[in-house]
Structure 1
Amino acid sequence: GNSQMGATIVDALDTLYIMGLHDEFREGQEWIDKNLDFSVNSEVSVFEVNIRFIGGLLAAYYLSGQEVFKIKAVQLAGKLLPAFNTPTGIPWAMVNLKSGVGRNWGWASAGSSILAEFGTLHMEFVHLSYLTGDPVYYNKVMHIRKLLQKMDRPNGLYPNYLNPRTGRWGQHHTSVGGLGDSFYEYLLKAWLMSDKMDTEARKMYDDAIEAIEKHLIRKSNGGLTFIGEWKNGHLERKMGHLTCFAGGMFALGADGSRDDKAGHYLQLGAEIAHTCHESYDRTTLKLGPEAFKFDGGVEAVAVRQNEKYYILRPEVIETYWYMWRFTHDPKYRQWGWEATQAIDKYCRVSGGFSGVKDVYSSSPTYDDVQQSFFLAETLK
């Protein structure tokens, strides 16, 4: 990005280690030791800094045992704590690393915080308390969970917006894609991370998934299973690229699901994987659009120009990976290889890889950004 904080270096460290690129890993470690400085007068996203920086540093620490990564993660987490100084304890979306002043995005439903942001801190913060012996991090995220448990949920669904001043939901918009996605993922992974002892997280996950299946998951006229978005009592028949991670999530959560429904959730994961593969296969570049519709004869295709881009996102490949692990059906490896070839053909540039602005164009233009999650997630 535009900052000098080295997001790609930090976010991709564990990928380097897993790939056996230890010289490059040590180079990244040296840069972090000498140059990664959090005393900058910079406003950052609490969520993005947590998943990309703290998550990246903790992963590098657990893989390598190098203390510098733990030290930097704890330093940075301390800079995020002022974001929790709200009347409810629900953190602001952004915080200034120097001043500690927090605020929310101007566009977010009357000053609300966002479910996928304040709900995607749990794993890293639990590990920070485990590593430091300081319960402050654990207490912050458990307070968020307790507050969410007490709240009424319309139709059993979690709205994407919650006001940190009043503790009330904002606009009744529920999504398993952007604004909601990783909240559900972290509930499931909190349970797995606890060696399946955190039954509270599992219950929250199961309850949420049941409501999502009842209200958001539908079959298109062409037989494609999709996950729509709930907006003020109305189902929008549109699915985002971000939502495609849910196929893998359903498969991952199949073991331990209620009422012996493991087979059901594995099948649901397979259906979502198929739909997301179709969203790729129906483009010129064989890369998926940012969002695609199931409406008026349109099936798994982007309609609006501002939804036709691909920014090196990992969610579809992630679902292929999980489905391969759980079923060993070779088609998932084939689909992953097809996506890899398309990325190499259409996104590779002299300085790395770039997103493309229109996956339906035979002569795509670049957005000139290599997102840190490309190396941290997509390639992994």
Structure 2
Amino acid sequence: MAAMYLATPPTGGSLESLQPRGLNSRTVSLWRTWKRLSRCQRSICYMIITVLAVIVLYSYMMRDEAMRIPDLTQYDPKAPEMPLSAVLDDDTRQKKALNKVERVHNAIQVPVDEKQNMAQEAVDDYHGDDDDNEGVDAPEENGNDSNQAGEDKDDDDPHNGQQAKSLKFEGPQNERQKAVVEAFQHAWKGYRTYAWGHDHLRPISKSAQNWFGLGLTIVDSLDTMWIMNLQSEFREARDWVESTLDFGVNKDVNFFETTIRVLGGLLGAFHLSGDAMFVDKAKDLGDRLMGAFSSPTGIPYSDVNLRSSRGHVPQWSSDSSTSEVSTIQLEFRDLSRCTGINTYEDAAENVSKKIHDLPKTEGLVPIFINANTGKFRAQSTITLGARGDSYYEYLLKQWIQTGKTQEYLKQDYVTSIQGMNHRLAKRTVPNNLLYFGEILSGGRSFKPKMDELTCFLPGTLALGVHNGLSKDHLVIAEELAYTCYLTFARQPTHLAAEITYFNSDSASQMDFYVKSNDAHYLLRPETIEGLYYLYYFTGNTTYQDWGWKIFQGIEKYTKVRNGYTTIGNVKNAVDIRPKDMMESYFLGETLKYLYLLFADRHEIDLDRWVFNTEAHPLPIRSY
């Protein structure tokens, strides 16, 4: 610790007398000055020096602790998982639930810092002031801090566009985030080399795959690159969007997938970068997609031709998927706010209102709906997995996006959670794990099957609690997240199958199993998404550790020379059967949620932003 120099000159001293005259004289002067101090003044100095020393020591210890992370090379997929006793209490389920709620909320009920980060102020033009939020507050150790460095304005930079206002991020803060960025760069290098401008990379055959021919991987990755502060990669992708991405192609595309990946990707990139070029592109696409709403009922058709803007039913069915027609509202509402054209929001909101008026099973909806009649398909499955999942997600997120002004959305969401608990929630034998099954044949039979897609639900439930809904939902979220994690942890690859079956028979020796035809892992993000929300709102670092284990499984079993690939068999670590496909959502969602999960300070303020179902951030607005 350097000696403290007191700036009070001796009485009558000249300017010359105060100049340094060598080390010895300065030391003598300091010593004389120190001797002139009273005992009280010396005590104060000692106290200040002691406090500074403690602060320096504490900062050093915290930095050292943050650097202690698991060694990727030492990962052992056969290592024992977290003991069940860490989550399941030995007492009754009621006592366990009450204890968990009390424990979690006692740990995290602290005030949210009212001082907003400068970076978040860059979006005030879009969403106005925040409403007060009730429920689960961010933990004090994480705060509601954002890692965003602030807003940026550079009129000489053509990439800032007309808005000339952007959010800046600092880049990776720790070794785990650095590992995720390296994974993104590895995947991006393979895509850029072998599939540039195409939808997906086939990393093993060094080739490309086209679904819609819209450069899905590029558009899906834009805001991920911005959040990771990969500016050179972002600029190259941005320039491709401006110069090459053309929506005037004679191509039939899936309305839902194009909305969440491309329209959502363009809007997310605009809100983070401030580049108005992305809004121009989004408007062009939105105008073409509006043809999907041309059905007699306004319920959108599943497919739409981009050149003619003509919507139509898919070749395989006369119906649309319920989740698909009800998971386009965030994007079209935001497009209206960005352009000032209400037509987009009106068309999409009309769909939600029509579904609101339809009869349901305790708030639960069948997975097919007919665009021409506006009715659900009779006898169709009710599930929280494929074709049903994001209907429930967007009930909550629309309510949040609209400043909690659309009460019917909140009520439909709350009712659906009650219906899930009553009709779909079951427990396994022997370890009493929570899962959500499916209702078949219009409610006549129950199937103990859960898709990996269902693991979006813990994150949605936690988000609802943070926004003032029942704290009981957090108990469900934590238990289901644990089950979802175990579907990863109990496989030798530490990766989850696409579909898992659960045992409820009293003679069962294992909680769940995977059929051979369902054993593929498609680089999906849903479990990681749930872990991110739970960590964000509870501060429990166990969720980060679980995510790190999953990431190690991804690194060990899906990483190949030129990217990452889906695999066909999670049940055998020596026979994983690579499928030679890297979906765009791996960069747009999976790696993004991993990066956000591992942040020391939150990268995105969830009181100001809402993620669409493809993990593209859109601003929350006051209405």
Same fold (TM over 0.5): yes
Identity, in percent, stands at 37
Asked whether 1:376 is paired with 2:584, we answer no
Asked whether 1:218 is paired with 2:410, we answer no
Q: Please state how far the C-alpha of 1:231 moved relative to its aligned partner.
A: 1.2
Match of 2:466, SS state, is coil
**Distance in 2 of aligned mates of 1:336 and 1:300:** 21
**Distance in 2 of aligned mates of 1:90 and 1:197:** 23
**Distance in 1 of aligned mates of 2:406 and 2:233:** 37
Please name the residue that 2:325 is paired with. 118
Q: Please state how far the C-alpha of 1:257 moved relative to its aligned partner.
A: 5.2
Please name the residue that 2:476 is paired with. 268
Please name the residue that 2:194 is paired with. none
Q: 1:173 to 1:310 in 2, by over 3 A?
A: same
Which amino acid is the alignment partner of residue 260 of structure 2?
I
- Most deviating of 142-151 and 249-258: 249-258
**Distance in 2 of aligned mates of 1:194 and 1:100:** 28
Asked whether 1:339 is paired with 2:550, we answer yes
Q: Please state how far the C-alpha of 1:24 moved relative to its aligned partner.
A: 0.8
Please name the residue that 1:42 is paired with. 251
**Distance in 1 of aligned mates of 2:225 and 2:468:** 34
**Distance in 1 of aligned mates of 2:350 and 2:434:** 36
Alignment root-mean-square deviation, CA: 1.4
**Distance in 2 of aligned mates of 1:240 and 1:30:** 38
Q: Please state how far the C-alpha of 1:195 moved relative to its aligned partner.
A: 2.5
Q: Please state how far the C-alpha of 1:256 moved relative to its aligned partner.
A: 4.4
**Distance in 2 of aligned mates of 1:301 and 1:276:** 13
- Aligned partner of 1:205 among 394, 413, 431: 413
- Aligned partner of 1:315 among 504, 523, 526: 526
- Aligned partner of 1:327 among 532, 538, 542: 538
Please name the residue that 1:79 is paired with. 288
Which amino acid is the alignment partner of residue 40 of structure 1?
V
Asked whether 1:194 is paired with 2:402, we answer yes
Q: Please state how far the C-alpha of 1:198 moved relative to its aligned partner.
A: 2.5
Asked whether 1:64 is paired with 2:309, we answer no
Q: Please state how far the C-alpha of 1:116 moved relative to its aligned partner.
A: 0.9
Q: 1:148 to 1:4 in 2, by over 3 A?
A: closer
Match of 1:379, SS state, is helix
Structure 2's unaligned 5+ residue stretches are 1-198, 200-209, 593-623
User: What is the correspondence of 1:79-118 to structure 2 with a 5 Å cutoff?
Assistant: 79-108=288-317, 111-118=318-325
Q: Is the Cα–Cα contact under 8 Å of residues 61 and 67 in structure 1 kept in the other structure?
A: yes
Q: Please state how far the C-alpha of 1:107 moved relative to its aligned partner.
A: 4.2
1:200-251 deviation digits (Å, cap 9, x = unpaired) = 2211211111111111111112211001111121221110000001011111
Match of 2:261, SS state, is helix
Please name the residue that 1:290 is paired with. 498
Q: Is the Cα–Cα contact under 8 Å of residues 206 and 257 in structure 1 kept in the other structure?
A: no
**Distance in 1 of aligned mates of 2:408 and 2:358:** 15
**Distance in 2 of aligned mates of 1:205 and 1:290:** 26
**Distance in 1 of aligned mates of 2:313 and 2:382:** 19
Match of 1:154, SS state, is coil
Asked whether 1:135 is paired with 2:374, we answer no
TM-score (normalised: structure 1): 0.95
4+ residue runs of structure 1 moved beyond 6 angstroms?
none
**Distance in 1 of aligned mates of 2:234 and 2:390:** 27
**Distance in 2 of aligned mates of 1:168 and 1:194:** 26
Which amino acid is the alignment partner of residue 567 of structure 2?
V
TM-score (normalised: structure 2): 0.59
Q: Please state how far the C-alpha of 1:283 moved relative to its aligned partner.
A: 0.9
Match of 2:511, SS state, is strand
1:23-78 deviation digits (Å, cap 9, x = unpaired) = 11111100000110001111111000000000000000000110111011110111
**Distance in 1 of aligned mates of 2:349 and 2:546:** 39
Which amino acid is the alignment partner of residue 447 of structure 2?
E
Q: Is the Cα–Cα contact under 8 Å of residues 88 and 167 in structure 1 kept in the other structure?
A: yes
Larger proportion of helix: 1
Q: Please state how far the C-alpha of 1:133 moved relative to its aligned partner.
A: 1.3
Asked whether 1:300 is paired with 2:512, we answer yes
Q: Is the Cα–Cα contact under 8 Å of residues 324 and 332 in structure 1 kept in the other structure?
A: yes
Q: Is the Cα–Cα contact under 8 Å of residues 122 and 190 in structure 1 kept in the other structure?
A: yes
